[in-house]
Structure 1
Amino acid sequence: MQTKANEKEAVSAVVDCIPAVNCENLSFKVCSMEKSTHRKRLLLYACGIFFCFFYFGILQEKITRTKYGESKEIFRCTISLVFIQCIVNAVFAKILLATVFDQPHDTTKKSYYIMCAFTYLTAMVSSNMALIHVNYPTQVVSKSCKPIPVMILGVLIGRKSYSLLKYMFVLTIVLGVGIFMYKDKAATSKTAASSDTSRMIGAGELLLMVSLLMDGLTGAIQERMKTEHQTKSGHMMFNMNLWSIIFLGIAWIATGEVWMFIDFINRFPVVIYYILGFSILSAFGQMFIFLTVTEFGPLPCSIITTTRKFFTVLASVIFFGNSLTSRQWLGALLVFTGLTLDGIYGKSAAKTK
């Protein structure tokens, strides 16, 4: 007994000699390292979004607004442009599902993918067709109004309610778009005034309105997919682009645009390189957006993409000479202010009834 007591005393003495580990300090260091790693990843994704969509916007305007050859032709094969973009996106999504994304078997109904692809595709085609009639800054600022149809359809279809702040942010966006897109009427004559009035909302603006409506419907369908089937990003990206390819392929052949596109490419082969670059940047940009939303949530992604849009407008003004009046700059400022405030404060404002 005495021996055992002596052994216990010896062990206790040894333990007392071991320096105490400060668990709080160790935990703080580990937490700091994790936060640092998180910040670096977020910065990497943000740079990826900025880089991809910055040059994506430049190439999009270069393709659609450049005047080719001595006859100053404009590229009007919008279906072909989106068709190639969707093919590259689908292939890229399939590669991600096979190598990077660890996502289980998809149970989402095909009908959801078909409807979602149709609305997504219509929004994309309308947006690209609008560039024939309006400049890129107008398209970017108008497409920044996506929260408006999403909120309206959320109330009508999704049975959601929104706070007063949410409505104020959306009102700021609407006001900014109205100021930006309004065209001053010429007071030279009744004919000129009538002509300008009729053009206040022209083909480009109507196409952008259709695009925004389709964006809202796409968001509503995707919300149903996530709620009912927990659809993952990789499957959604692949299947939406797959059905878009089917729809576009039919339209491509039915409209005869395939022959017009081939003829245009034969005469101006440099366009195909612009289109491939445009499509590859689109695919990588989507990947960075999905990574940001998955790891950091929609709030950081919203702030990043909103800031990116503003710099895209500036780039378009600098590189393509799309000058903006002081009134249009005020409208752009209101739009981006409303979107930024909505990204910071408005995400928690939506409730499901």
Structure 2
Amino acid sequence: MAEPLPTTNGVKENKLWKGIFAVSGIMVTLVIYGILQEKIMRVPYGVNDEYFKYSLFLVFCNRITTSAVSAGSLLASKKAMDPVAPVYKYCLISVSNILTTTCQYEALKYVSFPVQTLAKCAKMIPVMVWGTYIMQTKYKGFDYLVAFLVTLGCSIFILFPAGTDISPYNKGRENTVWGVSLMVGYLGFDGFTSTFQDKLFKGYDMEIHNQIFYTTLCSCVLSLTGLILQGQLLPAIDFVYHHNDCFLDIVLLSTVATASQFFISYTIRTFGALTFAAIMTTRQLVSIMLSCAWFGHPLSWEQWIGAVIVFVSLYAKNLKNTLPKPPPPQQVQNGASSPVKEMA
């Protein structure tokens, strides 16, 4: 006797739980990740108030941890270790991901975490650009309106700082031009990374752990090579050796970064790249509030207006996506209604 097909309510409930799982995982891991990266890059260590300057070393630590965990997961589940897609495609994601993370860490030297975090809301724009180019996706006018409002709000937030936040690297006010340039690089590379991940998931029958393992393995090799060529590997190790609290912060950062990679890949595979960008909205709002409270970042009234524009726009988009879609138009044929067929 055949098993009954799952009901519509059962499917919706299952997707709801998957959404709760994805949102909770991203929120917890990335909020902790955000606080730790600001602490490591902007708070001095030791009695001599020394700053940790080796952002590529953080990338290497994060990726080697993630690679080891994903390899263990593949071996434990007895799934194939062989690459499913051509290796160069994993390397493309890896290179883009390294550039994304490096820009993110470097930007914290010149702009405050709230500025960086709100700017990340604009990742919908590069996702849409790359989605149109790579996935041949067509977006609606409302999507472009939201993207414009988010860009407007982010611009207001960046251009009208409170004026008292100090960058430890230029001993003065935040270096807005260079910091924003790094954030533009972050957004462009990050949009490509998530969109190309989405393309690989849809183009190949690929396990999440398989993609994570090969992309992070490539990242380990590339970041280690970069550290050696720049002469930063030994100084970074020496800094961590002499500052145990920095070592513990990096271990915890790598742990939550690894967990976040699995949640991000799961979310992109289950819901797509643009939905992932929208899910990040609440996490970014919480991160800004926590950073302002924890590290004492002041916000001007213009920045509050910019933040309101960004989050209202994104939440309006999320609300619109949850509304039921109208049924397709019907026409009457021989006394019975039938759906109108698309023109050939």
TM tier, shorter chain?
0.7 to 0.9
| 8 Å Cα contact 2:118-2:154 kept in structure 1 | yes
Pairs within 5 Å for 1:219-238: 219-238=194-213
| 1:68 matches 2:68 | no
In the alignment, the residues of structure 2 paired with residue 292 and residue 100 of structure 1 have an alpha-carbon distance, to the nearest angstrom, of: 20
- 2:280 paired residue number: 305
Q: Deviations over 1:91-147 (max 9, x none)?
A: 122223233596796420111111221111101101111101111111111122111
Moved more, 64-73 or 338-347: 338-347
Pairs within 5 Å for 1:121-160: 121-160=98-137
* AA aligned opposite 2:51: I
- 2:31 paired residue number: 54
* AA aligned opposite 2:213: F
Moved more, 119-128 or 228-237: 228-237
Residues 304 and 185 of structure 1: CA distance in aligned 2, closer, same or farther (over 3 Å): closer
Q: Deviations over 1:26-66 (max 9, x none)?
A: 999x9878876765565454333322222111111111111
In the alignment, the residues of structure 2 paired with residue 229 and residue 50 of structure 1 have an alpha-carbon distance, to the nearest angstrom, of: 28
- 1:12 paired residue number: none
Q: Which runs of 5+ in 1 are unaligned?
A: 1-25, 187-198, 349-353
**Structure with the greater alpha carbon radius of gyration:** 1
In the alignment, the residues of structure 2 paired with residue 347 and residue 76 of structure 1 have an alpha-carbon distance, to the nearest angstrom, of: 44
Residue 67 of structure 1: how far off its partner (Å) = 1.5
- 1:192 paired residue number: none
- 2:329 paired residue number: none
Pairs within 5 Å for 1:1-353: 42-99=19-76, 106-183=83-160, 201-294=176-269, 302-345=277-320
Q: Deviations over 1:256-303 (max 9, x none)?
A: 101211221232121011001011011122323444555566687555
In the alignment, the residues of structure 1 paired with residue 96 and residue 274 of structure 2 have an alpha-carbon distance, to the nearest angstrom, of: 24
Q: Deviations over 1:301-333 (max 9, x none)?
A: 555432111101110011110111121122122
* AA aligned opposite 2:63: C
* AA aligned opposite 2:139: Y
In the alignment, the residues of structure 2 paired with residue 345 and residue 116 of structure 1 have an alpha-carbon distance, to the nearest angstrom, of: 31
The CA RMSD over aligned residues, in Å, is 3.3
Instruction: Give TM-score scaled by structure 1 length.
Output: 0.77
Residues 339 and 185 of structure 1: CA distance in aligned 2, closer, same or farther (over 3 Å): closer
In the alignment, the residues of structure 2 paired with residue 253 and residue 102 of structure 1 have an alpha-carbon distance, to the nearest angstrom, of: 34
Instruction: Give TM-score scaled by structure 2 length.
Output: 0.79
Residues 33 and 161 of structure 1: CA distance in aligned 2, closer, same or farther (over 3 Å): closer
Residues 309 and 257 of structure 1: CA distance in aligned 2, closer, same or farther (over 3 Å): same
Residues 302 and 344 of structure 1: CA distance in aligned 2, closer, same or farther (over 3 Å): farther
SS at match of 1:88: helix
* AA aligned opposite 1:249: L
Residues 297 and 101 of structure 1: CA distance in aligned 2, closer, same or farther (over 3 Å): farther
Structure with greater proportional helix content: 1
Q: Deviations over 1:212-270 (max 9, x none)?
A: 11123324433442343343322221111111111101111111101211221232121
Moved more, 64-73 or 165-174: 64-73
Residues 220 and 84 of structure 1: CA distance in aligned 2, closer, same or farther (over 3 Å): same
* AA aligned opposite 1:278: L
- 2:333 paired residue number: none
Moved more, 330-339 or 108-117: 330-339
| 8 Å Cα contact 2:162-2:299 kept in structure 1 | no
- 2:334 paired residue number: none
* AA aligned opposite 1:145: A
Residue 87 of structure 1: how far off its partner (Å) = 0.7
Residues 155 and 41 of structure 1: CA distance in aligned 2, closer, same or farther (over 3 Å): closer
Matched residues, percent identical? 25
